Structure 1
């Protein structure tokens, strides 16, 4: 009889214990968001076989924000990259290749993050390539201030646009102006300098502008400037960059002119870029057909000449989580 009584107490209290455990989890989960993006298309380029490739980066992430009161919050962001055609990590040596940060945010003071993330240059300049700096298919990323934020030899370029062991700061918007800054907390193995950079961004919609300066592990320097202007459905885009490489006096310049034209959920995009005058050039035209706010079909036609000429045709679809 005593054993039955004990069992009854356990059975009756188990749901209550489970509910007590679930309450804080549910309260916290309300501030946690899982997000992601899927992009895969069929590509055919001059002199190569037809292949599956991405038009933009594929990623899966989870981010969260906990209210601390006084208009302050704690934040975290974990994002991994993968290749949907194989299911493998896109950067095999880094699990959370996209970002792994923890931080504090205040409405009046800004957002401070620690960990691994995009540099201020890369965090914002994707806005000035109609293909979002994907470096694939029709993208003009190479002509949009392309810069190795690491500079050191790496197997898979996982630090090409990111910095680990970094301190990142984003200011509140004041009169439409925002400031992003980054500094590496420790010197990386093989580096001659700590990576550091800053960017000043103006505007959000009709008129935007950006200017950025960055130095990588080899003390290479880049200066980048870009802007956009929207008139109803049409948006004009322009960007210019200059990279000065340390030790040899060499430099690299890039220029981009582009635009988009929105038609409801659809988007026509086009652009032209040049690298070091005649070293390289690319012309791209693309169209995005919106099936919904989260699902699109896209097509690109592009021609590029660096050491030799190639023409490409791509068609694919995307879905955002």
Structure 2
């Protein structure tokens, strides 16, 4: 439960407000339409948007430790990208490719310089290709019904996911049909409580999907490059804990499929970070300790184009 408190820490650089002083989504499962609303583009600095799953947040925040998107923002400001450089953290705990594709379409009106997709096999498995949006755990599915996102979504994605089916919409929003969006209800306040960490022997092992869908990765790139937007897109095979994954050798499959897909996109690049972080810097199969977040932030910083340049 410790991850809910990590966004409460604020950071400034030489008196300039961090982008994390702006209101953020406190519950992660609701308010995504407002949380990702377009912000002013005029006079914007170097802008990075991180799209990921729960790995984008800290489960433990001792001494005010920061998650890797927050640390990446500080690195940008300290290394010549300008005092207004910012990193927007659009990480969804429990999210997968459908949420990430919707968020890719949402980025268009933000006009980011770089989009970082930090993901892995299970988030882009072929099983998601025809899964309805009504099964999404958070209200990020509502983005599909906003004009600013809908017009940038690939037609094939809309067809496969039932994004604009009145029947599917009613299933999520009507009292007269089956209620599928389990988190739309009375708002709960998050709390933080200390719990003993299980030993490695008691922790559940994760098994990776071998298949990774090129179709879904193309949907992500199509959405990110819609309209007049032409950001650099880094598709990163996110760090994983080899000690708690039964088939860790398959982790590189996400990278290899993303590499094949990105070869058709001049502004896209595939990067393998699956084995970047030592086992001792993880708290679970996918979640890193603060030191792991710091290492990942520096790794991502090294992949960005130098200040003043655009493109890889």
TM normalised by structure 2 equals: 0.31
Q: Which has the higher contact order (CA 8 A, sep 6+)?
A: 2
Structure richer in strand, relative to its length: 1
Q: Which structure: larger Rg?
A: 1
TM normalised by structure 1 equals: 0.30
